[in-house]
């Protein structure tokens, strides 16, 4: 495969994983490719064992099958080196949330398989070195926002916007997370105002999951 095509295939996977529930039009626009090229790329990914299908129910492309691999004999020093590499990548990828978040999520997946004491220490390191320094918020907030995007959950957000004097609670239907001018932002529809609003994630103090799902 040519290098530019490989990059495009990787970007396709990253954007669908980190920005779930995109429509056909949104996928094509974010990748800057045509419909025929997009479906040709999906076929290439299928040959690698990764299945991406369009769900009429979800009205979006979803990853249906993805190969998983076990990494044997991965030393603690290797994991720490990987952590610092991900930190540097997140700090410099301020225009590509999909790449930054997927790198962070992959590291968390490795750490989750470690013994409890080591897992706790490394998770704290990830929170400080990657999430707070790179994404500008706490790990709990980032994970809850991405989970709400993935599951299409309505959430409650406690946030004091820069234009407001008091902390306020918003009911929000998350649409996307993205970097802009070095900061992480969330676009969400707020039922009370019946419009899309933008939240600067570092100003969000709490995210509460609700049992309600975003209407399609």
Strand residue runs (E) in the chain: 51-55, 60-65, 153-159, 168-180, 183-190, 195-200, 204-213
pLDDT score recorded for residue 87: 93
pLDDT digits 0-9 by tens, 30-72: 888 888 998 899 999 998 888 988 888 777 788 888 887 777 7
User: How distant, in Å, are the alpha carbons of 13, 119, 139 from that of 36?
Assistant: 17, 44, 38
pLDDT score recorded for residue 68: 79
Q: Where in the chain is the domain with CATH 2.30.30?
A: 148-213
pLDDT score recorded for residue 20: 76
pLDDT score recorded for residue 216: 58
The class that CATH gives domain 3-65 is mainly alpha
Q: Where in the chain is the domain with CATH 1.10.10?
A: 3-65
pLDDT score recorded for residue 148: 95
Question: What's the CA gap between 153 and 172, in Å, rounded?
Answer: 9
Going 16 to 18 to 21 to 25, the CA torsion angle's sign is: negative
Question: What's the CA gap between 96 and 15, in Å, rounded?
Answer: 9
Question: What's the CA gap between 191 and 195, in Å, rounded?
Answer: 7
Sites in the chain below the pLDDT cut of 70? 1-3, 215-216
Which CATH number, 2.60.40, 1.10.287, 3.30.70, 2.30.30, labels domain 148-213?
2.30.30
pLDDT score recorded for residue 85: 93
pLDDT score recorded for residue 27: 84
Question: What's the CA gap between 95 and 86, in Å, rounded?
Answer: 15
């Amino acid at each position: 495969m040519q290098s530019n095509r490989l990059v495009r295939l990787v970007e396709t996977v990253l954007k669908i994983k980190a920005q779930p529930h995109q429509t056909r039009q949104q996928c094509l626009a974010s990748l800057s490719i045509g419909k025929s090229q997009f479906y040709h790329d999906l076929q290439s990914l299928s040959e690698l064992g990764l299945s991406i299908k369009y769900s009429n129910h979800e009205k979006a492309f979803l990853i249906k099958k993805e190969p998983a691999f076990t990494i044997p004999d991965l030393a603690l020093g290797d994991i720490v080196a990987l952590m610092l590499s991900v930190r540097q990548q997140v700090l410099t990828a301020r225009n590509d949330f999909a790449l930054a978040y997927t790198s962070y999520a992959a590291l968390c997946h490795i750490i989750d398989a470690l013994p409890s004491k080591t897992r706790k220490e490394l998770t704290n390191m990830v929170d400080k070195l990657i999430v707070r320094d790179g994404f500008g918020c706490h790990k709990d907030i980032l994970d809850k926002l991405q989970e709400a995007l993935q599951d299409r959950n309505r959430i409650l957000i406690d946030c004091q916007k820069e234009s407001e004097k008091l902390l306020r609670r918003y009911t929000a239907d998350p649409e996307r997370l993205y970097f802009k001018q070095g900061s992480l932002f969330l676009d969400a529809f707020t039922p009370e105002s019946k419009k899309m609003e933008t939240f600067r994630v570092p100003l969000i103090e709490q995210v509460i999951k609700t049992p309600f799902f975003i209407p399609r």
